[in-house]
A = this chain, B = another copy of it.
Amino acid sequence: MKPDVQEITLHTSGRLSRLLVGQSHDQLDRYLPEGKTVMITDDHLWDLYPALFKGKPTIRMGTGEKVKTLQTVEKIYRELIDLEADRSTFLVGVGGGIVCDVTGFVASTYMRGVSFGFVSTTLLSQVDASVGGKNGVNLGGYKNMVGVFNQPAFVICDCDMLSTLPTAERLSGLAEVVKHGLIGDAGLFAFLEENVAEARSLARTAALRMVSDSITLKSAVVTRDEREAGERRILNFGHTLGHALEKVCGISHGEAVSAGMMFAVHLSVARNLIPRTAADRIEALLADLGLPLRIDARPEELLDALRRDKKREEDRLFFVLLNRIGKAVVVPLMMDEVARELGIYYT
């Protein structure tokens, strides 16, 4: 085992989840229980890592957000039936957020729930999806409309698998890392400022730090509020407008979150929660990492998408703003306030 592998343990709803940062995917067998294992992955990873699937029944799904559907879930259920998977079968999702979201939902609902683990292969899934137990699929053009909360038994975060990531995937992960620094870890934010080239290229040491700090922060938040009743909402920093931008403009998650964070930063400055100098630092870091600061869109279209946000409750939408770099605050905004702010920002 590499000397710098770290294990972080997460407790939610009485269950335990092992997060193995820097562990190699070829150590998977160490974490599997006795009995039958079925692997679930996408065509891309199947081609890249044949040794990982050798000798194990494997269900393959396509790639991209378009396969994150109930139809894919049903197809996997049927393959599990054909493989005679039973309640003692263990499922392993190997992939990024999409494979892990689908696998987690399938495992949580097949025969009313079987145990599962992940080999998390993208920066985004390592820093974000691996913790928190959110899973699910899209429906009717809306993201994650169907799913449950359920944490895997383990997540192997193999930083060496990140070297093959496409740019959009890399940027999506980096946007979440910046988010974690902003909402709860000023030390991580400073690390990114000081090591921006290593962070941007996902050099092993920087990747380990980003993944480990992100998981530590997110674990702490999620443990205190598993079902997003309160504090967990801070993890949506940049995501409220981000999801709307992603939907309306068809851009990548990372670009959308980056621009969404800058809108939240703008609101935070406008409300005198943070000084202009803090906003400048955030802007500089995002730009240095190659992330966009602003995505133009028509306010009415964004507003329409926000109305369909599953976090909307009646006429209120909870926006996450900053108190300072490293500290977030949740502010409920009425939909007409949101409309006004969007109108101002997008003139």
Across-interface contacts of A313 in B (CB, < 8 A): 86-88
In the bound complex, CA of A308 to CA of B80 (Å):
12
Interface residue from B88, B113, B308 paired with A227 (Cβ < 8 Å): B113
Q: Are B111 and A145 in contact (CB under 8 A)?
A: yes
In the bound complex, CA of A134 to CA of B74 (Å):
20
Interface residue from B84, B110, B146, B148 paired with A145 (Cβ < 8 Å): B110
Q: Helix, strand, loop or mixed for chain A's interface?
A: loop
Whether A87 touches B314, Cβ cut-off 8 Å, given contacts A139-B74, A140-B81, A148-B108, is: no
Per assembly, the copies of the chain total 2
Q: Are A310 and B145 in contact (CB under 8 A)?
A: no
Q: Are B81 and A145 in contact (CB under 8 A)?
A: yes
Give the residue name and chain of the B residue nearest to A36 (CB).
B314
In the bound complex, CA of A142 to CA of B112 (Å):
13
Give the residue name and chain of the B residue nearest to A137 (CB).
B109
Assess whether A136 is interfacial by the CB under 8 Å rule.
Answer: yes
Q: Are B110 and A77 in contact (CB under 8 A)?
A: no
Across-interface contacts of A112 in B (CB, < 8 A): 134, 136, 144, 147-149
Assess whether A35 is interfacial by the CB under 8 Å rule.
Answer: yes
Assess whether A209 is interfacial by the CB under 8 Å rule.
Answer: no
Q: Are B149 and A35 in contact (CB under 8 A)?
A: no
Q: How far is the CB of A83 from chain B (nearest CB, A)?
A: 12
Hey, which bits of chain A sit against chain B, CB under 8 A? Answer: 13, 35-36, 70, 74, 77-78, 81, 84, 86-88, 108-113, 134, 136, 139-140, 142, 144-149, 227, 307-308, 310-314
A-B contact pairs, 23 of them (CB 8 A): A13-B13, A36-B314, A77-B139, A77-B140, A77-B146, A78-B140, A81-B139, A81-B308, A84-B307, A84-B308, A86-B313, A87-B311, A87-B313, A88-B313, A88-B314, A109-B146, A110-B145, A110-B146, A111-B310, A112-B144, A112-B147, A112-B148, A112-B149
